[in-house]
Amino acid sequence: MEAVTGRSVYGGIAIGKLSVLRREDTTVKRIRTEDYKAETERFHKARKDAKKELKVLYDKALKEVGSINAMIFEVHRMMLDDPDYVEAVENTIKSQKINAEYAVASTGDNYAEMFMGMEDEYMKERAADIKDISNRVIRVLQGKNSDGEGADTHVILLADDLAPSETVQLDKSKVLSFVTMGGSSNSHTAILARTMNIPALIGVDYREDFDGKLGIVDGYRGKLIVEPDEDTLKVYEKRMASDRERKRLLEELKGKETVSTGGQKVNLYANISGVSDVVTALQNDAEGIGLFRSEFLYLENNTYPTEEQQFGAYKSVVEGMAGRPVIIRTLDIGADKKADYFGLLHEENPAMGYRAIRICLDRPDMFKTQLRAILRASYYGKVSVMYPMIISVSEVQRAKNLMEEAREELSQKGIPFGKVNEGIMIETPAAVMISDLLAEEVDFFSIGTNDLSQYTLALDRQNAKLDAIYDPGHPAILRMIEMVVNNGHKHGCWVGICGELGADTSLTEKFLKMGVDELSVSPSYILPVRERVRNI
């Protein structure tokens, strides 16, 4: 028996045969040719065929994982039309008098290397996209099938990394789990894996000789166990059975109120990152959306998303929730979430730098585009908006003024919109300390315990070396939460928690005693939290 550790991107347990993904050999030979025009034509035909394949993949992903997660294939199609990329391939064919396959491979490698050399993590991940589209064009040029049948039945798939196109092709009836050496928790593949509900690990240093052996993926502890002994296998089989029974019992809580035995009601909402997550939220019986992270629209785009694009996404979520409340957080970009077209400069301490509301107030036209889209979506259901990273009353007032301007602009054009309540995220110690003043400006507070914890404890929550002392349930944090609840209630604000701490059932009773009105958690935590509340 051998155990290898990694990082989990989706929890759960899978037991089955390990299968190492072996891709077709795409080795490209350099062949000299005098007829560069013919090779250029071959390249353009292959590029068009590759775009057709991506359209098929987009349609498939649209059905399986929703429009936002399918957008990567639209992005890939746009990348194949990028004039710089196309011109680079054409020039390589012409200047070096070589075959199209080699020119595409060479250009793809150069672009990927350029992206990997960037400091921005988001841009680094685009290297995989460049390689993906280049390999697709090469396979078309070589006459090979770009999208194979995938893995054998019931396997745990091992790969060095998975391109987005490979991930969406995974047949859930065949693949029990996937384990990769590369990837990141914010990569397209990780997001798709969570959406597809496949237990998955990244950063696992597996070996080729694992192929064909029995394995266990422990998505809770981030472990891959190879050739488990009989006792270990029995333990995990019992855990799987226990997981199934636990899920069955939790299913019985659907449709029931989130209310304690003493009659105290708490609203139990879901945190979502995209339109497709609404399905998961409803499947887990969320009473509303407490945190809709709007930045996904900006991160998946090559330029600022239009008002229509944003309106379409927000409207889909609002209509999907069928009358249940939806709270949309305005753009929270910066720190570890960046898009190249924002032109954000390198910062020594980005978590405390130019981000979130600071960018929005600095770029009012961009901000009002989002506010108008949110207002228009409010015509179709119950919508609230909340502003992130607030540290002062003046910031709130400026945001409210821009919201009012957005209302006036829509009114002048005769575009309908509904009533939108305005709230803020409490995620800085400054906001906690002046929460009595802030409460006079807004309708509600939502406490973002993730950032509040790292700012208060002076601990970088991304630093693995600090895991042992990182304590989001620190007494200082709990006192801050209680202070915010008291100040909010004194001035007519309801108060919720949308950070990970809201899903910590060991603290649920404390939160109820403090008077927390709402808990917003990842969809998979909704029923466990409801169970805890109903037992208090």
Examine the residue annotation and report whether 76 is marked as an active-site residue of this protein. Answer: no
Say if residues 57 and 107 touch (Cβ distance below 8 Å): no
Please give the distance of CA 377 from its chain centroid, rounded to a whole number. Answer: 22
Q: Residue 209: which of 226, 223, 232 has the closest Cα?
A: 226
**Helix (H), strand (E), coil (C) string for 191-232:** HHHHHCCCCEEECCCCCHHHCCCEEEEECCCCEEEECCCHHH
Question: Is the C-alpha dihedral spanning 134, 139, 141, 145 positive or negative?
Answer: negative
- Dihedral pair phi/psi, residue 468, rounded to 5°: -65, -30
Question: Is the C-alpha dihedral spanning 88, 93, 98, 102 positive or negative?
Answer: positive
Say if residues 39 and 105 touch (Cβ distance below 8 Å): no
Token readout for 39 is: 């090779």
CA gap 312, 294 in Å, rounded: 12
Say if residues 98 and 125 touch (Cβ distance below 8 Å): no
The position carrying tokens 């992005």 is 75
What residues are paired with 420 via a beta bridge? 383
Contacts with 68 (C-beta within 8 Å, 6 or more apart), sequence order:
274, 275, 276, 296, 297, 300, 313
Looking at 76, 188, 360, 493, which residue is catalytic?
Answer: 188
H/E stretch holding 328: strand 326-329
Looking at 76, 360, 493, 498, which residue is catalytic?
Answer: 498
- Dihedral pair phi/psi, residue 384, rounded to 5°: -125, 160
Number of neighbours of residue 526 by Cβ within 10 angstroms? 28
C-alpha angle 82/86/92, rounded to 5°? Answer: 150
Please give the distance of CA 407 from its chain centroid, rounded to a whole number. Answer: 30
Say if residues 162 and 169 touch (Cβ distance below 8 Å): no
Q: Measure the CA dihedral 307/312/315/321, to 10°.
A: -140
Examine the residue annotation and report whether 188 is marked as an active-site residue of this protein. Answer: yes
CA gap 363, 120 in Å, rounded: 21
Question: Which spans in 350-467 are helix H?
Answer: 357-362, 364-377, 393-413, 429-433, 435-438, 449-457
Question: Which spans in 414-448 are helix H?
Answer: 429-433, 435-438
CA gap 416, 241 in Å, rounded: 52
Token readout for 209 is: 């000789």
Residues marked active site are found at: 188, 498
